[in-house]
A and B are shown apart, each in its own frame.
Chain A
């Protein structure tokens, strides 16, 4: 793919301002670029729409995000309060509590909605952290080559072969219990795949003649990496991000389930952990276990569907079969 199509999803010049309604001949180059971007965004969306699974994923995500954002309005701000819990402990689903109650008598549907906030926030932040680290490592390793690349790629390999979960558990258990710890633990353990991908793409981009031209015209390392390589790896990074998010959400749930999360905030993994500790598994209280589990699966699936759709739109060579 070329730089022209590539910079669509992530305009690398955020300082651009829209300058609309100018006569065609009077448009500045900047406005032209902006129009071009808008066109390719529209094209992107047209193509994205043809991926039915991707549209479903996106719709699910929008719904869940809306629910999470408007949680206080939807289910009330005090749904997490144990002292104000409206029901009895472990009530099975009924008209009043569609998903039953937990061991404190709190409405599980409300907790599920509130839990979406933590799960999404942690998933997104961790994925961004992970992808950011991976991108920086990948681009610098691809650009500088030599001993630097060798060293940093061996470090990457080391992280790659380390089981992520074990490393994350080790990190999460030595640090304070908070969502930031979880974000950090996931972020610093899952970046190597991104780094490897980005490095490969960087190598490919840098072998193109125009990079040589840019260098001949006096472009420094920073310029090459930021203005030429980054925009070209961006689509890849974007697709990678959406895919990493789903695994980050799963890891977050896993860590919370293992009791490594902040026990005072409600998250889906935390709900599962609470359920297990309360003995819901052996007591057969399915309504406590199933909804958070399904929610995690749905969100992870939605992100994966979106990610794959984005991936195949940006890289037509992947073909329709995917």
Chain B
């Protein structure tokens, strides 16, 4: 479920505090808005007085790190806000990561190779007709209030989601095909299906304690953030939460897999990545989440620091350009104002043909990404797909020009003009707070400008409004992909389209195609992993040809931590992978505290920031003074 929250639309939300609660949307496309606006404004002015950089004042709050009674605390700097702490509602990466840590799921993914391993369930097996799955629930797991965790809890959780009383916001794709879920005994859970479903060992649904949650009046409005500590049975227990400040977890000493080594994990909100990096340098935080990824300059700057390790592993995400295929509702009603030229496959392909993915990886990501091809990142090797040489849409502006000519968009005086005499001008939706969107936008503008296509880069804090309304031509898009690709494929099916125009829906990009839907049904019902992978690859091939989703790159997860606070932790996949936002709780559960306490060296950058702040104050004061004097002179005037 981690997928949901993140990128793309959500990549957006990565930086932030989203306004939208996304009733049924899988991912909030919504946006961040920096609360630092004003502060930053002052800082902006301050940059003008760069002399301020030298100001050695250092009144910065340094108390961040908990230093009491030898408690071992791991502080994680995150940019995202929590949308909800209820497992029924949460969709963002931060919230779902917290659920991974505080609740158990039926199964977990192995840190090495992503295969399903026992968690809440010890083992699971399908019946001969593939329609009934029986899970054996472990008997050595206890809720944090001392009650035993049983199959009854799991059955109650699934039934609650299936009841759809506003409870299926986060996990509906797993249960739509469920017929009945029962718990014949405390250790036995039986799920009956309408049709075979291949994701039964990858049900990313947090199991909640029935005895606590059945007392909740309205689950669709309950955010699970009032009564601390929150009862759970994961490796950590949710202990405290302050909106946009921190989420505190304490170790569950009775966790069945073994107690975590850290006593406390705190997710601290830093809306500004550079501030988070400065805090890491100072030792105020132990870890900076690569969400959004550290910029190359930040990563290079950190590599030179002692006691800091930069982790640069293959990411779970793809970074793509989505083209609006004509927004419509489930019953075929069209809405939105996508450019009609994009209904022509040749135009869509021409756009992609004129994007030099290698340059983007080299220049924008500076090598911290893998060149894009199929829909699923190469990290998930069984499902990832690459086009053959003749299918591949390589960077080829000449062929792109030719395709546009064929489609009837001839070049007249440097501009492509359609048969209706209108110039070919597109808008692209970009996340205002994502530097990569803006940077790639600059390249697109030039490449497409050479072809004679105009581009307006429309950067918004909240892209969800025009997105749901279908009022875009192109958009920067991206999702984190799970080990099981069902979810990221499901968002391109007709069933995901909105019921009413402009309503939020599970759909990513309004794609609705019969062939794709058939393949989707087929892969969902296919129990043989190899055959299923084959079908998934066919789907990727179709998506690639369609030109609806042009995957440009798979950005790496670039994150950093202090080695004098964290001795070691597990990446996922363990050979080379990410730390924050895993499909499991491995990183924080396995993290080993370093013996020495953090050596706090007055980071120069904090000095810089403070210098800037001081300069801002001086500047603002000076400005005010001048204004006052000016006014006084003006009033003296006749």
Q: Is A197's CB under 8 angstroms from B634's CB?
A: yes
* Complex CA–CA separation, A101 to B49 (angstroms): 21
* Complex CA–CA separation, A296 to B45 (angstroms): 9
Find chain A residues with CB under 8 A from B638 CB: 1, 201, 204
Given A177-B459, A294-B48, A296-B48, residue A103 in contact with residue B38 (CB < 8 A): no
Interface residues of A, CB < 8 Å — how many?
A: 62
CB 8 Å contact bits of A303-315 with B (1 = contact, 0 = none): 0100000010001
Find chain A residues with CB under 8 A from B34 CB: 258
Stretch at the interface among B201-209, B328-336, B441-449, B493-501: B441-449
Select one of B37, B53, B446 contacting A81, CB under 8 A: B446
Given A236-B634, A311-B633, residue A258 in contact with residue B44 (CB < 8 A): yes
Given A278-B297, A279-B297, residue A300 in contact with residue B48 (CB < 8 A): yes
By beta carbon, the residue of chain B nearest A103 is B297
Judge whether B40 is part of the interface by a CB distance below 8 angstroms. yes
* Complex CA–CA separation, A300 to B609 (angstroms): 23
* Complex CA–CA separation, A286 to B297 (angstroms): 12
Q: Is B45's CB under 8 angstroms from A254's CB?
A: yes
* Complex CA–CA separation, A121 to B160 (angstroms): 60
Given A89-B296, A250-B45, A278-B297, residue A294 in contact with residue B50 (CB < 8 A): yes
Judge whether A159 is part of the interface by a CB distance below 8 angstroms. no
Find chain B residues with CB under 8 A from A290 CB: 50
Q: Is A166's CB under 8 angstroms from B359's CB?
A: no
Judge whether B605 is part of the interface by a CB distance below 8 angstroms. yes
Residues 81-98 of A contacting B (Cβ, < 8 Å): 81-83, 85, 89-90
Judge whether A41 is part of the interface by a CB distance below 8 angstroms. no
By beta carbon, the residue of chain A nearest B47 is A293
Q: Is A276's CB under 8 angstroms from B430's CB?
A: no
By beta carbon, the residue of chain B nearest A308 is B630
Q: In whole Å, how far is B629's beta carbon from the nearest beta carbon of chain A?
A: 9
Q: In whole Å, how far is A76's beta carbon from the nearest beta carbon of chain B?
A: 15
* Complex CA–CA separation, A317 to B634 (angstroms): 11
Find chain A residues with CB under 8 A from B218 CB: none
Most buried by B among A89, A243, A304: A89
Judge whether B433 is part of the interface by a CB distance below 8 angstroms. yes
Q: Is B297's CB under 8 angstroms from A264's CB?
A: no
Q: Is B274's CB under 8 angstroms from A282's CB?
A: yes
Judge whether B281 is part of the interface by a CB distance below 8 angstroms. yes
Find chain B residues with CB under 8 A from A177 CB: 457-459
Select one of A82, A243, A294 contacting B363, CB under 8 A: A82
* Complex CA–CA separation, A201 to B635 (angstroms): 9
Judge whether A318 is part of the interface by a CB distance below 8 angstroms. yes
* Complex CA–CA separation, A176 to B300 (angstroms): 35
Select one of A82, A253, A293, A318 contacting B50, CB under 8 A: A293
Given A165-B38, A258-B37, residue A279 in contact with residue B363 (CB < 8 A): no
Find chain B residues with CB under 8 A from A9 CB: none
Find chain B residues with CB under 8 A from A294 CB: 48, 50
Q: Is B461's CB under 8 angstroms from A173's CB?
A: yes
By beta carbon, the residue of chain B nearest A2 is B638
Q: Is A297's CB under 8 angstroms from B430's CB?
A: no
Select one of A89, A259, A264, A293 contacting B441, CB under 8 A: A264
Given A201-B637, A269-B44, residue A279 in contact with residue B298 (CB < 8 A): yes
Find chain A residues with CB under 8 A from B40 CB: 257-258
Q: Is A282's CB under 8 angstroms from B359's CB?
A: no
Judge whether B84 is part of the interface by a CB distance below 8 angstroms. no
* Complex CA–CA separation, A294 to B41 (angstroms): 16
* Complex CA–CA separation, A274 to B195 (angstroms): 52
Judge whether A77 is part of the interface by a CB distance below 8 angstroms. no
Find chain B residues with CB under 8 A from A85 CB: 363
Q: Is A254's CB under 8 angstroms from B363's CB?
A: no
Find chain A residues with CB under 8 A from B438 CB: 263, 277
Q: Is A264's CB under 8 angstroms from B442's CB?
A: yes
By beta carbon, the residue of chain A nearest B301 is A283
Q: In whole Å, how far is A42's beta carbon from the nearest beta carbon of chain B?
A: 24
Q: Is B609's CB under 8 angstroms from A281's CB?
A: yes
Q: Is A279's CB under 8 angstroms from B277's CB?
A: yes
Find chain A residues with CB under 8 A from B273 CB: 279
* Complex CA–CA separation, A1 to B638 (angstroms): 8
By beta carbon, the residue of chain A nearest B612 is A281
Q: Is B274's CB under 8 angstroms from A281's CB?
A: yes
Judge whether B439 is part of the interface by a CB distance below 8 angstroms. yes
* Complex CA–CA separation, A173 to B274 (angstroms): 23
Judge whether B626 is part of the interface by a CB distance below 8 angstroms. yes
* Complex CA–CA separation, A13 to B623 (angstroms): 36
Q: Is A82's CB under 8 angstroms from B605's CB?
A: no
Judge whether A24 is part of the interface by a CB distance below 8 angstroms. no
Find chain B residues with CB under 8 A from A171 CB: none
* Complex CA–CA separation, A204 to B34 (angstroms): 46
Most buried by A among B281, B457, B459, B605: B459
Select one of B50, B53, B274, B637 contacting A276, CB under 8 A: B274
* Complex CA–CA separation, A289 to B46 (angstroms): 11
* Complex CA–CA separation, A1 to B636 (angstroms): 13
Q: In whole Å, how far is A180's beta carbon from the nearest beta carbon of chain B?
A: 13
Judge whether B190 is part of the interface by a CB distance below 8 angstroms. no
Judge whether B529 is part of the interface by a CB distance below 8 angstroms. no
Find chain B residues with CB under 8 A from A322 CB: 633
Q: In whole Å, how far is A20's beta carbon from the nearest beta carbon of chain B?
A: 35
Residues 251-271 of A contacting B (Cβ, < 8 Å): 253-254, 257-259, 262-264, 269
Given A89-B366, A264-B457, A283-B300, residue A103 in contact with residue B439 (CB < 8 A): yes
Given A200-B635, A269-B44, A276-B274, residue A289 in contact with residue B459 (CB < 8 A): no
* Complex CA–CA separation, A294 to B49 (angstroms): 7
Given A263-B441, A279-B274, A282-B301, residue A293 in contact with residue B37 (CB < 8 A): no
Find chain B residues with CB under 8 A from A254 CB: 41, 44-45
Find chain B residues with CB under 8 A from A262 CB: 457
Select one of B43, B48, B296, B301 contacting A103, CB under 8 A: B296
* Complex CA–CA separation, A90 to B366 (angstroms): 11
Given A89-B366, A277-B295, A322-B633, residue A282 in contact with residue B278 (CB < 8 A): yes
Q: Is B635's CB under 8 angstroms from A263's CB?
A: no
Judge whether A169 is part of the interface by a CB distance below 8 angstroms. yes
Q: Is A282's CB under 8 angstroms from B605's CB?
A: yes
Judge whether A193 is part of the interface by a CB distance below 8 angstroms. yes
Residues 223-272 of A contacting B (Cβ, < 8 Å): 236, 240, 243, 247, 250, 253-254, 257-259, 262-264, 269, 272
By beta carbon, the residue of chain A nearest B630 is A243
Q: In whole Å, how far is B367's beta carbon from the nearest beta carbon of chain A?
A: 10
Find chain A residues with CB under 8 A from B363 CB: 82, 85, 89, 104-105
By beta carbon, the residue of chain B nearest A261 is B459
By beta carbon, the residue of chain A nearest B278 is A282
Q: Is B295's CB under 8 angstroms from A82's CB?
A: no
Residues 427-459 of B contacting A (Cβ, < 8 Å): 430, 432-433, 435, 438-439, 441-443, 445-447, 457-459
* Complex CA–CA separation, A279 to B604 (angstroms): 14
Judge whether A206 is part of the interface by a CB distance below 8 angstroms. no
Given A297-B49, A311-B633, A317-B636, residue A282 in contact with residue B445 (CB < 8 A): no
Judge whether A280 is part of the interface by a CB distance below 8 angstroms. yes
Judge whether B322 is part of the interface by a CB distance below 8 angstroms. no
The 10 closest A-B pairs by CB, nearest first: A283-B301, A279-B298, A257-B44, A293-B47, A277-B435, A279-B295, A297-B48, A283-B297, A279-B297, A282-B277
- In the complex, given contacts A104-B363, A290-B50, what are 16 additional A-B residue pairs having Cβ atoms less than 8 angstroms apart? A1-B638, A90-B297, A104-B442, A177-B457, A193-B627, A201-B638, A257-B41, A262-B457, A279-B295, A283-B301, A284-B608, A285-B297, A294-B48, A296-B47, A315-B633, A317-B636
A residues bordering B, Cβ < 8 Å?
1, 81-83, 85, 89-90, 103-105, 165-166, 169, 173, 176-177, 193, 197, 200-201, 204, 236, 240, 243, 247, 250, 253-254, 257-259, 262-264, 269, 272, 274, 276-286, 289-290, 292-294, 296-297, 300, 304, 311, 315, 317-318, 322
- Mind listing 15 A-B residue pairs with CB under 8 Å? A83-B359, A89-B366, A200-B634, A236-B634, A250-B623, A258-B44, A263-B442, A264-B457, A272-B47, A277-B438, A282-B274, A282-B278, A297-B48, A297-B49, A311-B633
